Structure 1
Amino acid sequence: MSKKQKAVLVGSGLVGASYAAWKAFVPWIGDDMKTIRVLAKALKQIGQNFEKGRTDLVMFEENVARIPKKTFIIFEDRHYSYEFVDTMANKVANIALTWNLPLHSPVAIMVENEPAFIWTFLGLRKAGLSAAFINYHLKGHPLIHSIKVSEAPVLIIGSGDEHLHSIQEIASDLPEMKIYVMGKKQQDLPAEYFSMDEILHHTLPVPLSKLCRGELNMRDPVCYIYTSGTTGLPKPAIINHSKIMAASSFWRVFDYNENDIAYAVTPLYHSASFSMCLFNTIERGATIVLRRKFSARHYWEDVRRYNVTVIQYIGELCRYLLRRPKSDLDGVHKIRVAFGNGLRIDIWEEFKNRFKIPKIVEFFGATEGTGIFLNVTGKVGAIGRMSPLMRATVFRDKGHQINFIKFDNRTEKPVRDSKGLCIPIKPGEVGLVICGVNEALYSGFYKGSKEMNDKKFLRDVYTIGDRWFTFGDLIYLDQNYDIFFRDRTGDTFRWKSENVSTAEVADVITHIPFVRDANVYGVTIPGEDGRAGMAAIMLRPEDEQITDEKLRTIFSVCQKELPAYARPLFLRFMREFIVTQTMKNRKVEMVEEGYDLEKVNDPLYFIDHKNKTYSPLTSTNYEGVLSSKL
Structure 2
Amino acid sequence: MDMLLYVISVILASILIIPLVLRTFYPYLWIDVLYCGELLRILATFISRRRRRPLFFVLDRFLEQTAARTHKPFIVCGDETYSYTSTDKRSNKIANALQAHPGYKAGDTVALFMGNQPAFMLTWLALAKLGSPVALLNHNIRTKCLLHCFNCCKATVLIAASELKEAVEDVLPSLLEQGVTVLLMTKHCDTPGVQSFSDEVDEASDAPLPRSLRSHITFKSPAVYIYTSGTTGLPKAAVVNQNRLLTALAVLSSIGVTSSDVIYLNLPLYHTAGFMIGFIGSIETGSTIILKRKFSASQFWDDCRKYNVTVVQYIGEVMRYLCSTPKRENDKDHKVRLAIGNGIRADIWREFLSRFGNIQVREFYASTEGNVAFVNYVGKIGAIGRVHFLQRMLFPYVVIKYDTERDEPVRDANGLCVESPKGETGLMLSKITDLAPFVGYAQNEDQTERKRLRNVLKKGDLYFNSGDLMRIDKDNFIYFQDRVGDTFRWKGENVATTEVSDILTISDCLKEANVYGVQVPGHEGRIGMAAVTVREGVQFDGSQIYNHVVRYLPSYARPRFIRKQNAVEVTGTFKQMKAKLVEESFNPRRIQDCLYILDDNEKSYIPLTAQVYDCIMSGNIKL
Shorter chain as denominator, the TM-score bin is 0.7 to 0.9
Alpha-carbon offset, residue 595 of structure 1: 6.0
Verify: 1:406 aligned to 2:408, yes or no. no
Verify: 1:395 aligned to 2:392, yes or no. yes
Alpha-carbon offset, residue 230 of structure 1: 8.0
- For structure 2, list consecutive stretches of 5 or more residues without a partner in the other structure: 1-16, 489-515, 534-549, 569-580, 597-623
Verify: 1:226 aligned to 2:200, yes or no. no
Structure 1's 479 and 436: CA in aligned 2 closer, same or farther, altered over 3 A?
same
2:146 to 124, 143, 148: 143
TM alignment of 1:146-161, pairs within 5 A? 146-160=149-163
Match of 1:544 in 2: none
Structure 1's 579 and 440: CA in aligned 2 closer, same or farther, altered over 3 A?
farther
Match of 1:378 in 2: 379
- 1:414-438 CA-partner distances (Å, limit 9, x unpaired): 1112211112222211111111214
Alpha-carbon offset, residue 395 of structure 1: 2.9
Comparing 103-112 with 434-443, greater Cα deviation is found at 434-443
Letter in 1 for 2:141: L
Are the equivalent residues in 1 in contact too, given 2:134–2:223 (CA < 8 A)? Answer: yes
Alpha-carbon offset, residue 217 of structure 1: 1.4
1:519 to 526, 532, 536: 526
2:458 to 454, 460, 463: 463
Are the equivalent residues in 1 in contact too, given 2:143–2:552 (CA < 8 A)? Answer: no
Structure 1's 32 and 63: CA in aligned 2 closer, same or farther, altered over 3 A?
closer
Q: Distance in 1 between matches of 2:311 and 2:224?
A: 25
Match of 2:499 in 1: none
Are the equivalent residues in 2 in contact too, given 1:219–1:441 (CA < 8 A)? Answer: no
Verify: 1:43 aligned to 2:43, yes or no. yes
Match of 1:56 in 2: 58
Verify: 1:119 aligned to 2:122, yes or no. yes
Alpha-carbon offset, residue 589 of structure 1: 3.9
Alpha-carbon offset, residue 619 of structure 1: 6.2
Verify: 1:130 aligned to 2:133, yes or no. yes
Q: Distance in 2 between matches of 1:579 and 1:340?
A: 29
Structure 1's 47 and 355: CA in aligned 2 closer, same or farther, altered over 3 A?
farther
2:75 to 65, 73, 78: 73
Verify: 1:484 aligned to 2:479, yes or no. yes
Q: Distance in 1 between matches of 2:527 and 2:127?
A: 42
Q: Distance in 2 between matches of 1:87 and 1:414?
A: 53
Are the equivalent residues in 1 in contact too, given 2:111–2:150 (CA < 8 A)? Answer: yes
Match of 1:316 in 2: 317
Are the equivalent residues in 1 in contact too, given 2:438–2:464 (CA < 8 A)? Answer: no
- 1:162-182 CA-partner distances (Å, limit 9, x unpaired): x11011112223332111111
Comparing 42-51 with 69-78, greater Cα deviation is found at 42-51
Letter in 2 for 1:356: G
Match of 2:268 in 1: 267
Are the equivalent residues in 1 in contact too, given 2:527–2:560 (CA < 8 A)? Answer: no
Are the equivalent residues in 1 in contact too, given 2:104–2:157 (CA < 8 A)? Answer: no
Alpha-carbon offset, residue 219 of structure 1: 0.9
Structure 1's 216 and 139: CA in aligned 2 closer, same or farther, altered over 3 A?
closer
Q: Distance in 2 between matches of 1:169 and 1:323?
A: 38
Are the equivalent residues in 1 in contact too, given 2:93–2:206 (CA < 8 A)? Answer: yes
Comparing 43-52 with 272-281, greater Cα deviation is found at 43-52
Are the equivalent residues in 1 in contact too, given 2:386–2:476 (CA < 8 A)? Answer: yes
Structure 1's 458 and 298: CA in aligned 2 closer, same or farther, altered over 3 A?
same
TM alignment of 1:227-246, pairs within 5 A? 227-228=228-229, 232-246=233-247
Alpha-carbon offset, residue 274 of structure 1: 0.7
Q: Distance in 2 between matches of 1:579 and 1:307?
A: 40
2:95 to 93, 98, 102: 93
Structure 1's 606 and 149: CA in aligned 2 closer, same or farther, altered over 3 A?
closer
Letter in 2 for 1:395: R
Structure 1's 68 and 520: CA in aligned 2 closer, same or farther, altered over 3 A?
closer
- 1:43-71 CA-partner distances (Å, limit 9, x unpaired): 34333333345411111111221211110
Identity of aligned residues (%): 32
Structure 1's 349 and 43: CA in aligned 2 closer, same or farther, altered over 3 A?
farther
Alpha-carbon offset, residue 91 of structure 1: 1.3
Q: Distance in 1 between matches of 2:583 and 2:221?
A: 55
Structure 1's 284 and 444: CA in aligned 2 closer, same or farther, altered over 3 A?
same
Structure 1's 252 and 342: CA in aligned 2 closer, same or farther, altered over 3 A?
same
Structure 1's 264 and 598: CA in aligned 2 closer, same or farther, altered over 3 A?
farther
Structure 1's 607 and 215: CA in aligned 2 closer, same or farther, altered over 3 A?
closer
Structure 1's 55 and 280: CA in aligned 2 closer, same or farther, altered over 3 A?
same
Match of 2:14 in 1: none
Q: Distance in 1 between matches of 2:425 and 2:324?
A: 32
Q: Distance in 2 between matches of 1:136 and 1:362?
A: 27
- For structure 1, list consecutive stretches of 5 or more residues without a partner in the other structure: 1-16, 494-501, 527-576, 600-604, 623-630
Are the equivalent residues in 1 in contact too, given 2:564–2:595 (CA < 8 A)? Answer: no
Alpha-carbon offset, residue 146 of structure 1: 1.0
Match of 2:589 in 1: 615
Comparing 108-117 with 47-56, greater Cα deviation is found at 47-56
Are the equivalent residues in 2 in contact too, given 1:473–1:489 (CA < 8 A)? Answer: yes
Structure 1 counterpart SS, 2:353: helix
Alpha-carbon offset, residue 26 of structure 1: 4.7
Alpha-carbon offset, residue 334 of structure 1: 0.7
Q: Distance in 1 between matches of 2:323 and 2:566?
A: 33
TM superposition score normalised by structure 1 = 0.75
Alpha-carbon offset, residue 34 of structure 1: 4.9
Letter in 2 for 1:143: L
TM alignment of 1:441-460, pairs within 5 A? 442=437, 444-460=439-455
TM alignment of 1:273-288, pairs within 5 A? 273-288=274-289
- 1:413-462 CA-partner distances (Å, limit 9, x unpaired): 11112211112222211111111214466453453332111011110011
Structure 1's 244 and 490: CA in aligned 2 closer, same or farther, altered over 3 A?
same
Letter in 2 for 1:396: M
2:180 to 172, 177, 181: 177
Q: Distance in 2 between matches of 1:131 and 1:309?
A: 30
Comparing 67-76 with 144-153, greater Cα deviation is found at 144-153
Q: Distance in 2 between matches of 1:223 and 1:259?
A: 28
Are the equivalent residues in 2 in contact too, given 1:260–1:286 (CA < 8 A)? Answer: yes
Are the equivalent residues in 2 in contact too, given 1:230–1:580 (CA < 8 A)? Answer: no
Alpha-carbon offset, residue 411 of structure 1: 1.5
Letter in 1 for 2:236: K
Match of 1:340 in 2: 341
TM alignment of 1:530-609, pairs within 5 A? 586=557, 589=559, 593-594=562-563, 596=565
Are the equivalent residues in 1 in contact too, given 2:531–2:564 (CA < 8 A)? Answer: no
Match of 2:411 in 1: 416
Q: Distance in 1 between matches of 2:223 and 2:205?
A: 25
Q: Distance in 1 between matches of 2:68 and 2:149?
A: 38
Structure 1's 254 and 223: CA in aligned 2 closer, same or farther, altered over 3 A?
same
Alpha-carbon offset, residue 103 of structure 1: 5.7
Are the equivalent residues in 1 in contact too, given 2:263–2:309 (CA < 8 A)? Answer: yes
Structure 2 counterpart SS, 1:167: helix
2:86 to 84, 87, 90: 84
Structure 2 counterpart SS, 1:347: helix
- 1:503-541 CA-partner distances (Å, limit 9, x unpaired): 9x94xx63xxxx566736899899xxxxxxxxxxxxxxx
Q: Distance in 1 between matches of 2:28 and 2:530?
A: 41
Are the equivalent residues in 2 in contact too, given 1:235–1:445 (CA < 8 A)? Answer: no
